[in-house]
């Protein structure tokens, strides 16, 4: 590892500790990431984003800290927030590796504990981000209201305005969302990661899964599980079986996974184009 003076100097300002070496980290879709080796011997990760939206890193840090509150009770691990400012975030380093066969079960049980830690409401005390897109979080009284008004309507509006989805496709999703109260069993709000695709699950050599890059809020726990299924988490059946050992899901949850995949598909349509929107519309038709 060499030492990039500008990056090292910024990290030293925030950490109050000398940075011995730095190295770029590949793989991030949004942020630039740099590995830091500190004089204490500790390793950290610095994330930066040129022209970051307001409070972008502060919201991520708040989500990590909120999820971390469940760790002592056996909740899923997240990186420790070492420092945060408007232009960057510094986290404890997560050393990835090959997990053993019991790691998937450990993730399922730990995620159930995190969800069970609960939330004060459907939503959050501040809006956030999913990727680089705004994530409206103002609380509403029921999951059906929150899902339709905060997770479906804002992204449908973008897709309609940009003519990425046809009126017929958007109408199908909107009509399905209007039936949320009929489709989804009522549950108290869970403590959600909020952007739980397989790329945000890091497997370690000590048979743990560590979650990164949250868009955390209080919501229905099937949303996190649906996103794991949407993008193909390895060993998902083992994860789900272990989850249900700790916190059994309401009957018919498998049939509702596609319903809760509507939100991430709309987000992906906003970011990457209409194929995801068309897929969302096809899934929505199942619930009409």
State the average pLDDT over residues 207-230. 97
| Helix, strand, coil percentages, rounded to 5, for the chain | 45, 20, 35
Look at the alpha carbons of 190, 179, 262, 132 in this order and tell me if their dihedral is positive or negative.
negative
Distance of CA 155 to the CA centre of its chain: 17
| Residue 174: burial class (beta carbons within 10 Å; 0-12, 13-18, 19+) | middle
If you average pLDDT over residues 153-180, what whole number do you get? 97
Interacting residues of 85 by C-beta distance below 8 A, sequence separation 6+: 14, 57
Answer positive or negative: Cα dihedral of 13, 16, 19, 25.
negative
Mean pLDDT score of the chain:
95
pLDDT higher than threshold 80 for residue 2: no
* Choice between 1 and 220, residue whose per-residue pLDDT is larger: 220
pTM of the model: 0.95
- In a shared domain, residues 111 and 174: yes
Q: Domain ends where: 36, 71, 92?
A: 92
Residue 4 vs residues 1, 26, 123, 182: alpha-carbon distances, Å: 10, 16, 40, 56
**Which of 23-32, 136-145, 189-198 is least confident?**
23-32
- Looking at the structure, do residues 179 and 211 belong to the same domain, yes or no? yes
User: Which range marks the domain in which residue 50 is found?
Assistant: 5-92
Number of domains in the chain: 2
In a domain, 128, yes or no: yes
Q: What does the block give as tokens for 85?
A: 């400012």
**Res 36 pLDDT > 80:** yes
**Among 50, 69, 92, which residue terminates a domain?**
92
Instruction: Tell whether 112 and 50 lie within a shared domain.
Output: no
Report if residue 98 sits inside a domain: no
Residues 6+ apart with CB under 8 A from 220: 143, 147, 184, 187, 189, 190, 260
pLDDT, mean of residues 140-146: 98
- Tens digit of each residue's pLDDT (9 = 90 or more) over 61-111: 999 999 999 999 999 999 999 999 999 999 999 999 887 778 999 999 999
Among residues 195, 206, 213, 224, the one annotated as catalytic is 195
234-288 pLDDT, tens digit per residue, is 889 999 999 999 999 999 999 999 999 999 999 999 999 889 999 999 999 999 9
- Residue 126 and residue 88 share a domain: no
- The whole-number pLDDT of residue 62 equals 98
Q: What does the pLDDT read at residue 169? A: 97
- The whole-angstrom separation of Cα 57 and Cα 47 is 9
- CB contact at 8 A, 254 and 143: no
**pLDDT score, position 1:** 65
Q: What is the predicted pLDDT for the residue at 206?
A: 87
Report the CATH number at residue 122.
3.90.1200.10
Q: Is 195 a catalytic residue?
A: yes
8-34 per-position pLDDT tens digit: 899 999 999 999 999 999 877 789 999
Domain boundary among 46, 66, 92: 92
The secondary structure of 144-161, three-state, reads HHHHHHHHHHHHHHHHHH
Q: Are residues 210 and 277 both part of a single domain? A: yes
107 vs 209: CA distance, rounded Å? 6
pLDDT, position 205: 85
How far is residue 35's CA from residue 21's CA, in Å, rounded to a whole number? 8
Going through the chain in order, the beta strands assigned E by DSSP cover 19-25, 32-38, 43-48, 81-85, 88-92, 128-130, 133-135, 190-192, 201-203, 209-211, 217-219
Q: Are 115 and 47 part of one and the same domain?
A: no
Q: Containing H/E element for 281?
A: helix 274-285
């Amino acid at each position: 590892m060499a030492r990039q003076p500008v990056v090292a100097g910024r990290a030293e300002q925030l950490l109050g500790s000398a940075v011995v070496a730095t190295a770029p980290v590949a793989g991030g879709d949004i942020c630039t990431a740099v590995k830091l080796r500190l004089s204490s011997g500790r390793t950290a990760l610095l994330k930066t984003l040129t022209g970051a939206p307001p409070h972008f890193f502060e919201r991520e840090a708040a989500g990590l800290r909120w999820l971390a509150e469940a760790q002592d009770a056996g909740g899923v691990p997240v990186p420790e927030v070492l420092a945060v400012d408007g232009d960057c975030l510094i986290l404890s380093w997560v050393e990835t590796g090959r997990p053993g066969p019991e790691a998937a079960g450990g993730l399922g049980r730990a995620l159930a504990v995190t969800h069970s830690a609960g939330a004060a409401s459907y939503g959050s005390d501040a809006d956030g981000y999913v990727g680089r897109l705004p994530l409206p979080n103002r609380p509403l009284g029921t999951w059906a209201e929150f899902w339709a008004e905060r997770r479906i309507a804002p992204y449908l509006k973008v897709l309609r305005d940009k003519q990425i989805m046809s009126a017929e496709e958007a109408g199908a999703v909107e009509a399905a969302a209007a039936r949320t109260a009929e489709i989804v069993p009522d549950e108290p709000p869970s403590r959600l990661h909020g952007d739980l695709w397989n790329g945000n699950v890091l497997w370690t050599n000590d048979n743990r899964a560590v979650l990164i890059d949250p868009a955390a809020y209080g919501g229905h726990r099937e949303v996190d599980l649906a996103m794991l299924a949407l993008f193909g988490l390895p060993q998902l059946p083992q994860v789900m079986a272990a989850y249900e050992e700790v916190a059994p899901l309401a009957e018919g949850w498998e049939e509702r996974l596609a319903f809760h995949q509507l939100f991430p598909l709309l987000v992906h349509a906003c970011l990457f184009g209409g194929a995801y929107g068309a897929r969302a519309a096809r899934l929505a038709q199942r619930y009409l």
